[in-house]
Structure 1
Amino acid sequence: MRLAVLLISCAVPATAQDFSLAMPVDCTLGTTCYLQNYVDHDPTDAASDFQCGDLTYDTHKGTDFGLPSLAAMKAGVDVLAAASGTVRGVRNDMRDVLYTAERDAEIAGRDCGNGLVIAHEGGWETQYCHLKEGSVAVTTGQEVATGDVLGEIGLSGRTQFPHLHLSVRRNGQVIDPFDPDGQIACDAPSDDTLWNTPLNTPQGGLLSAGFAPDIPDYDAVKAGTAATRALTSQDAIVLWTFGFGAQQGDTLVFTITNDAGEVFASEVELTRTQALFMRAGGRRAPDEGWPAGLYEGRIDHVRNGTLLNSQTTSVTLR
C-alpha cells in the first residue's frame, strides 16, 4: 500500500521563488510532444511520481519530454535552455540508436548520451540528456540565456524512444520541478512548482493514430511510418493508435464511420500497465468491397469512466 505522503530521499527543500524553469523543448505539450516520465519519489524498490501515479520507474531522476515518433525526431525538435547560466560540460558524439542490452559496453558510464550541464546561481544546475548526435550547439564555458537553443532531441545513450531527459539539481541533490519541496500528499498535490508557466501533466493519453490495411508493425508505429492515406475497396480497414501511460482497466473505444454511417465499433480493455502501447481494431472488406469515399476514425482513451483524450484520423478508399 502506498503511504499518504511520499518523500524523495535525495531532495532538499526548495521553493519556486528560489529558481524557475522555462519549457526546455520547442514543442506543444499534448500535440507535438508529451511528458512520459517524472522523478521517482518512492524510496523503496517500487516507483511513484509526484501525482502518486505510474509515470516513472525506480530511481528515475528527471523529467522526460517525449516525441511521438522517430520521424518527429528526424525532422528536428530544438532543446532550449530552461534557465540562464554557464555550460559546464558537453558530449556530442554518441550515435542515435535504440538501446539494447548488447550496447551496454558501448554506453557504459554515458547513459545520458549526448548532452550538457548548465550551472545556475544559487547552487542550481540542469542537465539535458539524449540529444541528437552532432546537434549540441553550445560549448563548455559558454554563457546561455533562457530559451537559447542547446541542440535537438535525439536517441543517444540509454533510451528506447526519442526524448529529452531533464534533470534538476541543487547543491548536487535531485529536485523534482513539479514538487520542489520533496513532499507529496497523494490526495492533494502541491501547486508549488519550478515551472514559470504551468505544464499540463496527464497520467496517460494517445499520441497518434492512423489507418492501415493490416495491423501495423509496432516499430513502424514508433517510427511514424505506419499510417496510410489511401486504401482500395478490397483492403481490410484497420484503425490503430499509439499511446502512453496505460493502466490496467483503461478502455479504448474505436469507431470508424463513412457517409453511410458506422462501419466498425469496438471497445478494447487494457489489461496491464504500459509506458508505451499500441492497439488496433478493424474489419475485413465485404465480398462486394467497400464503398469509395472518405472514412473517419476516432479512438477515445477512457479511465474510470472519464475521457482522457481522443485521436481522430481519416483515409480515402478508392
Structure 2
Amino acid sequence: MSLASPVLAGDISLGLPIDCELGNTCYIQNYVDADPSDTMADFTCGALSYDGHKGTDFALPTVKDLESNVHVLASAAGTVMATRDGMTDHRQRTAGAPDVSGVECGNGLVIDHGEGWTTQYCHMMQGSIRVQKGDHLDRGTSLGHVGLSGMTEFPHVHLVVRKDGKVIDPFSPEPATTCGETHTDTLWDIPIAYQSTGLLYVGIASGIPDYDDVKAGTAQAETLSIDSPNLVVFGFAFGGHGGDIMRLMLSGPNGTVANRDVTLDKNKAQYFNATGRKSSMDWPAGTYTAKVQIIRDSEIIETKAHQITVTP
C-alpha cells in the first residue's frame, strides 16, 4: 500500500527518524495501536502493533546490524527537552537482562517542535546520544545511534509523536472511521509504503540454527566444507499471518539439495523456519544458493536469496 503524504494545514512535517533504506536495511515492525479496546490493530487494521503501543518502531533486521552504528535523526527542527543515557544495550527475555521498570524507553530524548508538538526517541545505544537539553536542532541532525536499551526485544528506534501531550499516529493523524480506509493525509514529508510482512535475513548453515542466533544475525555460515554433516537453508521474517507459506529452497552444483513449504498456524510478529539435508558423502564443492519466499493467498510477497561457497 503506497501512502500519499500531503500534510494537513497546521500540522508538523516529519522526516524519517533513522538513517536507513526502508524495505532494505531497515523496516517498520510496529505501528501505533489504533484500536482503543484491549485488542490491537495498526492504522490499516493490520497486525503490526500490540495493545497500547504508542509509537512507530523503525527496526534493523538483526542485532548484528547495530555494528553499523545506524544514526537516529531528528524528524523535525526543535529544541531538546530532556535526554537519558547510560542504560545497557541488552535484549529483554535473555539471560542477564536488566530491570527496566519505569525506564522502558531506555536511552533516548524528547524534542519540542513548538505549537504543542513533540517527538520522543527510545531504545538508543548506550553512550551514543550526542545532544543535550536546550540544544536547538535542525531537522535531520544526528541524535545518536539505534540501540537495544530499555524494554525491547529487537534493535530499533521507537518514535512517539505527540500534540499537546496526546499521542498522534503520523500515518493517521485523523483516525479513520472505517477499518482499512485508505489514508492520504499523513505527517510524513514523503510517502512511506506500508509493508505488512517481509524477509529480514536468509542464510545457509551446517545445522538448524538456534533462534537467538538468527535474531542476533550470527547464524549464517560464510563458507562450509565438503565434509559438513548438513546443509541447511533458513529464513527470518516479520509480520507473519496465519496461513502464510514460507518456501525454503537450497540448491548446489548438482541441483536441488532441499525444498520445503512451511505454513504458519497463527499470526507472528517475527518467526523463522529452516530445512536441509544430511550428507551421506562429501558435498560437491562449489556455489550453493539459498532462496526463500513468503507466499500469502497464493501470491509471492517477497523473495530473498543468499549464496555461499562449499570448499574442499
Q: Tell me which interval the TM-score lies in, with the shorter structure as reference length.
A: over 0.9
Tell me the alpha carbon deviations over residues 217-276 of structure 1, each in whole angstroms, 9 at most, x when there is no partner: 111111111101222223211001111111110001111222333222211111121111
- Are 2:285 and 1:289 equivalent residues in the alignment? no
**1:16 offset after TM fit, Å?**
6.4
What is the DSSP-based 3-state SS (H/G/I as helix, E as strand, rest coil) of the residue aligned with 1:59? coil
**1:315 offset after TM fit, Å?**
1.6
| Aligned residue identity for 1:314 | Q
Number of the residue aligned with 1:130? 123
Distance 1:300 1:184 in 2: 35
- Are 2:232 and 1:238 equivalent residues in the alignment? yes
Number of the residue aligned with 1:152? 145
Tell me the alpha carbon deviations over residues 64-86 of structure 1, each in whole angstroms, 9 at most, x when there is no partner: 01111111113311000000001
Number of the residue aligned with 1:257? 251
Question: Which of 37, 56, 81 does residue 44 from structure 1 map onto?
Answer: 37
- Cα separation, partners in 2 of 1:45 and 1:103, compared to 1, 3 Å: farther
Q: Which runs of 5+ in 2 are unaligned?
A: 1-6
- Are 2:51 and 1:58 equivalent residues in the alignment? yes
Question: Which of 75, 86, 91 does residue 82 from structure 1 map onto?
Answer: 75
| Aligned residue identity for 1:28 | E
What is the DSSP-based 3-state SS (H/G/I as helix, E as strand, rest coil) of the residue aligned with 1:189? coil
- Cα separation, partners in 2 of 1:16 and 1:42, compared to 1, 3 Å: farther
Q: Which runs of 5+ in 1 are unaligned?
A: 1-13
- Are 2:169 and 1:176 equivalent residues in the alignment? yes
Number of the residue aligned with 2:3? none
What is the DSSP-based 3-state SS (H/G/I as helix, E as strand, rest coil) of the residue aligned with 1:49? coil
Normalized against structure 2, the TM-score is what?
A: 0.93
| Aligned residue identity for 2:198 | G
Contact preservation (8 Å) 1:50, 1:189 = no
Distance 2:240 2:10 in 1: 35
Distance 2:118 2:224 in 1: 52
Tell me the alpha carbon deviations over residues 8-53 of structure 1, each in whole angstroms, 9 at most, x when there is no partner: xxxxxx9365211001100111111110000001111100000101
Question: Which of 144, 161, 167 does residue 154 from structure 2 map onto?
Answer: 161
Q: CA RMSD in A?
A: 1.8
Question: Which of 265, 281, 299 does residue 292 from structure 2 map onto?
Answer: 299
Question: Which of 43, 46, 60 does residue 67 from structure 1 map onto?
Answer: 60
Contact preservation (8 Å) 1:241, 1:279 = yes
- Cα separation, partners in 2 of 1:166 and 1:16, compared to 1, 3 Å: farther
Contact preservation (8 Å) 2:206, 2:232 = yes
- Are 2:268 and 1:274 equivalent residues in the alignment? yes
Identity, % of aligned pairs? 43
| Aligned residue identity for 1:86 | T
Normalized against structure 1, the TM-score is what?
A: 0.91
Number of the residue aligned with 2:21? 28
- Are 2:238 and 1:225 equivalent residues in the alignment? no
What is the DSSP-based 3-state SS (H/G/I as helix, E as strand, rest coil) of the residue aligned with 1:238? strand
Aligned residue-pair number: 304
| Runs of 4+ that moved beyond 4 A | 101-105
Distance 1:306 1:100 in 2: 35
What is the DSSP-based 3-state SS (H/G/I as helix, E as strand, rest coil) of the residue aligned with 1:95? coil
Number of the residue aligned with 1:209? 202
Tell me the alpha carbon deviations over residues 136-183 of structure 1, each in whole angstroms, 9 at most, x when there is no partner: 110001000110000101111111111100000000011000001122
Contact preservation (8 Å) 2:204, 2:231 = yes
Number of the residue aligned with 1:140? 133
What is the DSSP-based 3-state SS (H/G/I as helix, E as strand, rest coil) of the residue aligned with 2:115? helix
- My pick for the range that moved more, 36-45 or 70-79, is 70-79
- Cα separation, partners in 2 of 1:136 and 1:302, compared to 1, 3 Å: same
Distance 2:94 2:155 in 1: 18
Distance 2:81 2:307 in 1: 48
Contact preservation (8 Å) 1:15, 1:181 = no
Contact preservation (8 Å) 1:212, 1:226 = yes
Distance 1:307 1:146 in 2: 38
- Cα separation, partners in 2 of 1:293 and 1:82, compared to 1, 3 Å: same
